[in-house]
Amino acid sequence: GHICIFLPKFHCEINFIRYLWGAVKRYLRENCDYMFEGLKENIQKAMASVPVELIRKWEHRVWRFIDAYADGLGAKDAQKRVKELTSYVMERTGESMDVYVDTWSRFFLDFPRFWGTVLAVLMGLHNQ
């Protein structure tokens, strides 16, 4: 019942869980009592402290990177495009992130395109 996802090395920008763990670790640092029992209690609180809207923003960012790589851009150009698109969408149109579908439902609906892009990045085809 599990799916193992192997992502390309050195492309942490398309590793969705990286954003979540960063937020969880930040919460744990800010609420640390330096006791193991406190850490165990705070892990659940840390996970619950991440708002769904923020998770959707991260999901959208990851898909922008995947789309940029699918269009043949290298890492620097992809980062530039994602930054431009994020600025345009959020500042110019005021688009709400609530319009995007849930992270995992989109992931599974678009699974073949995702893996095609991952394989292209792994094989170096995104530079051709």
Range of the domain at 60: 52-128
Q: What is the per-residue burial (b if ≥16 Cβ within 10 Å, else e) of 18-49?
A: ebbeebbeebbeeeeeeeeeeeeebeeebeeb
**pLDDT score of 111:** 54
Pick from 126, 106, 109, 128: which is nearest to 118 by CA?
126
d(CA 68, CA 49) in angstroms, rounded, equals: 30
With respect to residue 8, please indicate whether it lies within any of the assigned structural domains. no
Full pLDDT tens readout for the chain, 128 residues: 777 777 777 777 887 788 888 999 999 999 988 888 888 889 889 988 998 888 888 888 888 888 888 888 888 998 899 888 876 555 544 444 444 444 444 544 555 555 555 555 555 554 44
Give yes or no: residues 108 and 66 share one domain. yes
With respect to residue 112, please indicate whether it lies within any of the assigned structural domains. yes
* DSSP-based helix, strand, coil % in the chain, nearest 5: 75, 0, 25
Give yes or no: residues 41 and 84 share one domain. no
Where are the strands (E) in the chain, listed by range?
Answer: none
With respect to residue 23, please indicate whether it lies within any of the assigned structural domains. yes
**Are 126 and 120 within 8 A, CB to CB?**
yes
Instruction: Work out how many domains the chain is built from and give that number.
Output: 2
Give yes or no: residues 41 and 56 share one domain. no
Give yes or no: residues 123 and 91 share one domain. yes
For residue 53, give the 3-state DSSP assignment: helix
d(CA 110, CA 78) in angstroms, rounded, equals: 20
